[in-house]
Amino acid sequence: MAGEGCQSFPLSHVRVIDLTNVIAGPVATRVLGQLGAQVIKVEQPWGRAIGRVAMHGQQPGHARPYNAIASFNEVNRAKRSVAINLAHENGKGLFYKLVAVSDVLVENYSPRVMGNLGITYAALRKVRPDLVMVSMPAMGASGPWANHICFGPGTDALGGLSDVTGYQGGPPHKPGNFYADHNSAFHVATAVMAALRQRHRTGQGQHIQVVLREATMAVIGEFFLGYQLTGHPPQRMGSHHPAMVPHNVYRCKGDDAWAVIAVASEEEWQCFCKAIGSPPWCCEERFGTFLERWRHQEELDRLIQGWTEQRTPHEVMEVLQGHGVKAGAVLKAPEILENPHWRERGFVDRTEHPEAGSYKHPGLPWKSSRSPANLGQRAPLYAEHREWVLGELLGVGDEEAVQLRAAATTPAEPVEP
């Protein structure tokens, strides 16, 4: 697709083959789709394909349940879908034809599976010499744990993020849900765009590796240096901060309602005291200096909570922000969807899905002055674009197409193995 001139979306000259499952890989290719790339998801022929059945957000009793899984439909927006049996010779042939007309291939199978399928970068280069390929192994392409099975949350544990997350004095914890998956996905999108730019200049493709666990370690990099510099391990500190007091989450009026407050300087402390009406305890000796406040943090937090408990999270935020103090409501999902700030910025994307109804999604986290937001792009139905792939895209001859349509190679509906 290269060679298109003036373009509205940054990647509208790029075709991507998405050979990924679950969260991390699909999010990576979704970002490329949101930036205008034409992304073709190559799905497995059988219904047990992990992303289609295993995740949450299913609609029980749905006629084609694999088309109505909320998490699948979230992470696979802005893509087309074709199902291909890569273990079948005809299927593999079709896959190579697809690769020959594509710019990028992203896969997140374990190194073992790709080896078994015989799909290697060396082989793919023969049909597409300047292909940019990305592999996303959990642990790495080699090494003693190369074939370990591990999903994003497992890398929180094995990469150190769990070790530095948790309540003060408590056991290791983790950010909710699939943080590591999304994190690695965004690193993949970054690397793909860099490699495409290099290809634009040099004509050369390459095979990139983004290791799930390494992407997790990269976003806590300072802890590895800190440990070497000081010789002592980091402590889990809840929502506290080493250099800000108060710095915590406080219970507010309402059901499971919370707000955060962070005070960074002497000046901000004065503003904070004023904002909460200068209660007598603000002037007590034990809170007189930063170091005193640090030593009496627990008592201070209790007194502050006495103030926040009388107010809703939004009241706490508005009063304190009105005095220039860092504060925020701990927002729940519906508050994000209805919040005037997010609405004004057009962050929440909406899609209409023919079998699953309407969805709301987070959009891309930036606004570009000269590229419109590529909104409203829904996820594909299973194998929705089979005829388009065989016909318009690849121009497969009639006889061959009949063979390929045979369920075992490129089914229109999932087949049971």
Partner 1 sequence: MADSALSGVGVLDLSQGVSGGYCTKLLADLGARVIKVEPPSVGDCTRRAGPFLNDIPDLEASAPFLYLNTGKQSITLDLKSPTGQRILLELVKGTDVLVENFKPGVMEKLGLGYSVLEQVNPGLVMASISCFGQSGPYRDYEGCELVAYAMSGYMYLTGDEDREPLKAGGSQSGYQAGLAAAMAVLAALTRKDFTGTGQYLDVSTIEALAGTFDGVSFYTMMERSGIMPRRAGTRLITREPQAPYPSRLLPCKDGWVHVHWSPSFPEGLALLTGNPGLAAAEVMAAMMGHADEIDQMLVDWLKDHSREEVQSLAQEIRVPFTMVHSIAEVLADPQNEAQGFFVEIDHPVAGRLRYPSPPFRVPLSPWRPARAPLLGEHNLEIYCHRLGHSMEDLTRLRQLNVI
Give the footprint of partner 1 on residues 294-353 (CB under 8 A).
317, 321, 324-337, 340-342, 344-345, 347
Kindly state whether residue 260 participates in binding partner 1, applying the rule CB under 8 A. yes
Q: Which residue lies nearer to partner 1 by CB, 161 or 394? A: 161
Helix 398-405 crosses helix 89-100 at what angle (to 10 degrees)? 120
Closest separation in Å from C-beta 158 to partner 1: 4
Tell me, by CB under 8 A, how many residues bind partner 1: 157
Closest separation in Å from C-beta 414 to partner 1: 14
d(CA 98, CA 396): 11
Q: Which residue lies nearer to partner 1 by CB, 356 or 383? A: 356
105: amino acid identity, one letter: L
Spatial CA neighbour of 240 closest among 164, 183, 315, 312 = 164
For residues 128-140, one letter each, b for 16 or more C-beta atoms within 10 angstroms of the residue's C-beta and e for the rest, the string is: beebbbbbbbbbb
Please report, as residue ranges, which positions from 4 to 43 form the binding site for partner 1 (by CB under 8 A). 4-7, 9-11, 13, 23, 31, 35
What tokens were used for 103? 């710019």
What tokens were used for 412? 């229109």
Q: Which residue lies nearer to partner 1 by CB, 96 or 342? A: 342
Q: Which residue lies nearer to partner 1 by CB, 101 or 146? A: 146
Q: What is the dihedral of CA 111, 114, 116, 118, to 10 degrees?
A: -130
Helix 313-322 crosses helix 266-275 at what angle (to 10 degrees)? 120
Which listed residue (61, 63, 230, 416) binds partner 1 by CB under 8 A? 230
Helices (H), 110-178: 111-117, 121-127, 152-159, 161-164
Kindly state whether residue 288 participates in binding partner 1, applying the rule CB under 8 A. no
Closest separation in Å from C-beta 126 to partner 1: 18
Binding mask 66-95 for partner 1 (x = CB under 8 A): ----xx-xxx--------------------
Q: Which residue lies nearer to partner 1 by CB, 182 or 386? A: 182
List Cβ neighbours of 243 (8 Å cut-off, separation of 6 or more): 264
Closest separation in Å from C-beta 298 to partner 1: 14
Kindly state whether residue 196 participates in binding partner 1, applying the rule CB under 8 A. yes
Q: HSE, CB side, 13 Å, CA atoms: give it for residue 376.
A: 1
Kindly state whether residue 222 participates in binding partner 1, applying the rule CB under 8 A. yes
Closest separation in Å from C-beta 97 to partner 1: 26
Closest separation in Å from C-beta 139 to partner 1: 6
Please report, as residue ranges, which positions from 150 to 179 form the binding site for partner 1 (by CB under 8 A). 150-151, 153-167, 171-179
Backbone angles phi, psi at 53, to 5 degrees: -120, -30
Spatial CA neighbour of 361 closest among 386, 336, 397 = 336
Per-residue 3-state assignment (H helix, E strand, C coil) for 246-302: CEEEEECCCCCCEEEEECCCHHHHHHHHHHCCCCHHHHCHHHCCHHHHHHCHHHHHH
Candidate ranges 189-197, 277-285, 286-294, 384-392; the one touching partner 1 (CB under 8 A): 189-197
Kindly state whether residue 234 participates in binding partner 1, applying the rule CB under 8 A. yes
Kindly state whether residue 117 participates in binding partner 1, applying the rule CB under 8 A. no
Q: Say if residues 22 and 53 touch (Cβ distance below 8 Å).
A: no
Q: Which residue lies nearer to partner 1 by CB, 129 or 143? A: 143
Which listed residue (89, 243, 395, 416) binds partner 1 by CB under 8 A? 243
Q: Which residue lies nearer to partner 1 by CB, 151 or 281? A: 151
Candidate ranges 51-59, 122-130, 290-298, 405-413; the one touching partner 1 (CB under 8 A): 51-59
Kindly state whether residue 265 participates in binding partner 1, applying the rule CB under 8 A. no
d(CA 334, CA 319): 22
Closest separation in Å from C-beta 306 to partner 1: 15
**Ramachandran class of 265: left when φ > 0, alpha when ψ lies in -120 to 50, beta otherwise:** beta
Q: Which residue lies nearer to partner 1 by CB, 279 or 357? A: 357
Spatial CA neighbour of 188 closest among 77, 32, 374, 21 = 32
Closest separation in Å from C-beta 214 to partner 1: 5
Kindly state whether residue 408 participates in binding partner 1, applying the rule CB under 8 A. no
Burial tier of 204 (Cβ tally within 10 Å: 0-12, 13-18, 19+): exposed
Q: Say if residues 74 and 361 touch (Cβ distance below 8 Å).
A: yes
Kindly state whether residue 200 participates in binding partner 1, applying the rule CB under 8 A. yes
Closest separation in Å from C-beta 157 to partner 1: 4
